[in-house]
Amino acid sequence: MIKIKKSSHKKTSKLAKFWKLLGPGLVTGASDDDPSGIATYSQAGAAFGLSTLWTSIIAFPLMASIQQMCARIGLVTSQGLTGTLKKNYPRPLLYLMLVFSFPAIVMNIGADIAGMGAVGNLLFPSIDASYFSVFFTILLLCLIIYLPYQKIASTLKYLCIVLLVYLIVPFLYKQDFLQIIKATFIPTLKFDKEFISIIVGILGTTISPYLFFWQASVEVEEMKNNKKILIVNKKIINNMQQDVDFGMTFSGLVMFFIILTTGTVLFKGGIHQIDTVEQAALALKPLAGDLAYLLFAIGVIGTGLIAIPVLSGSLSYIFTETFGWEQGLDKKFHEAKAFYVIIAISLILGLTLNYVGISPVKALIYTAILYGLTAPVLIAIILHISNNKKIMGEFVNSRKSNILGFSALIIMTVSALVLIYLQLTS
């Protein structure tokens, strides 16, 4: 009897230790499945059934390898990605990344706020969606400014549990498991504009440039707040890799189950066009029942609360590191005014997209295009930094990291070029 108690205590202790280990990697993975990502995956499932399920298997190792490189850069250099770029690369390249990143991230924030507002309206129809959008914007701004970094980090970490709802929804509907296995491991490719567009959208949503900046900068934040870390060693790098791998696995699973849900419920139900997140939630209601609809709607709000601080924070890190301003979520407002003002501006600009006639769907399309154009260039720079011994010392890329990193670069570049070709010839 005592042995059982000891064994149970040991397992609980191991689980608590692993949970404590998780941090930036888990939050980054969860923020990857933001409302705009949910819209992209929902459209993929509705339009093409299970034909894009295989992308979650392909995307996982690619995004994990890139995020690990970014995290390692942050840990080794004690600088964000922008700071490393500023120190080691020509300024025009840095400013080019700033120009590309700013509109894409603001559009992404706007699309996420609009998605959260619309789903809030679905849960409480008597309240207009615009009121929910304003409410979520103010709530997020207050939380980011007034909560210390450790509180934000732990809150975001626990919010990630919300994403588990997407792993439940498909089991509320009868599934053909043989078909699912085939679609997962046997890639389907169609050389037409719509299919290639959704593939580029999925890649742009999963391997997003804002996550590169966030991962590097937040690792520096973690290091500053963990006074036990005096020097980066192999154990620290190993812990980071476990954190990133778990976060990206989590992200890939959520992506897989959203495509699975919409690919069976919506596609088979004859609904092939999803223009907004709220349409996906509404479409599930009559086909899979009230519970599926409710879980989907709650998931959208939860992921928005995770992703928007990451989006706005990454943009603020980019600007403050570029111009050498005081920055960091661990600092109070009066200690890093510019940092928090940029976050506020990005949220307000995102919110205004709902009132200037730019639909969230178009914002998502423009975001995907801008991410698609920026990501290959940034991946190339990240690969160069990660293999530079002057910057990284003994922590340069392994052969495996380079194979996966260059694969991500080639796949994203080729996909973008094919889409451009199809756009020009259609």
Cβ pair 31, 245 in contact under 8 A: no
Longest dimension (CA), the chain: 73
Cβ-based neighbours of 319, under 8 Å, separated by 6 or more: 98, 325, 338, 342
CB atoms within 10 A of CB 253: 18
Higher pLDDT, 2 or 264: 264
Interhelix angle 193-206/54-77, rounded to 10 degrees, is: 30
Band (2; pLDDT cuts 50, 70, 90): very low
The residue-averaged pLDDT of 89-103 equals: 81
Cβ pair 386, 392 in contact under 8 A: yes
Mean pLDDT of the chain: 81
Task: Give per-residue pLDDT as tens, 339-388.
Answer: 999 999 999 998 987 777 766 556 666 676 677 777 888 898 899 999 99
Amino acid of residue 319? F
Structure tokens at 88: 């080691």
Question: What pLDDT is attached to residue 378?
Answer: 85
Least confident of 16-30, 346-360, 397-411: 16-30
Dist. CA 35–CA 42, nearest whole Å: 10
Sign of CA dihedral 147, 151, 157, 158: negative
Dist. CA 39–CA 112, nearest whole Å: 10
Interhelix angle 290-323/35-48, rounded to 10 degrees, is: 130
Cβ pair 158, 381 in contact under 8 A: no
Burial class (CB in 10 A: 0-12, 13-18, 19+), 103: middle
**Nearest of 248, 199, 328, 205 to residue 70 by alpha carbon:** 248
Cβ pair 57, 184 in contact under 8 A: yes
Question: What pLDDT is attached to residue 1?
Answer: 46
Matching residue, tokens 């005096």 = 230
Band (249; pLDDT cuts 50, 70, 90): confident
> Above pLDDT 70, what percent of the chain?
84
Cβ-based neighbours of 189, under 8 Å, separated by 6 or more: 195
pTM assigned to the model? 0.83
Dist. CA 304–CA 333, nearest whole Å: 23
pLDDT above 80 for 42:
yes
HEC profile for the chain? CHHHHHHHHHHHHHHHHHHHHCCHHHHHHHHHCCHHHHHHHHHHHHHHCCCCCHHHHHHHHHHHHHHHHHHHHHHHHCCCHHHHHHHHCCHHHHHHHHHHHHHHHHHHHHHHHHHHHHHHHHHCCCCCHHHHHHHHHHHHHHHHHHCCHHHHHHHHHHHHHHHHHHHHHHHHCCCCHHHHHHHHHCCCCCCCHHHHHHHHHHHHHHCCHHHHHHHHHHHHHHHHHCCCCCCCCHHHHHHHHHHHHHHHHHHHHHHHHHHHHHHHHHHHCCCCCCCCHHHHHHHHHHHHCHHHHHHHHHHHHHHHHHHHHHHHHHHHHHHHHHHCCCCCCCCCHHHCHHHHHHHHHHHHHHHHCCCCCCCHHHHHHHHHHHHHHHHHHHHHHHHHHHCCHHHHHHHCCCHHHHHHHHHHHHHHHHHHHHHHHHHHHC
Question: What pLDDT is attached to residue 372?
Answer: 72
pLDDT above 70 for 124:
yes
Domains within the chain, CATH numbers bracketed: 31-425 (1.20.1740.10)
pLDDT above 80 for 115:
yes
Dist. CA 244–CA 275, nearest whole Å: 31
Dist. CA 327–CA 318, nearest whole Å: 10
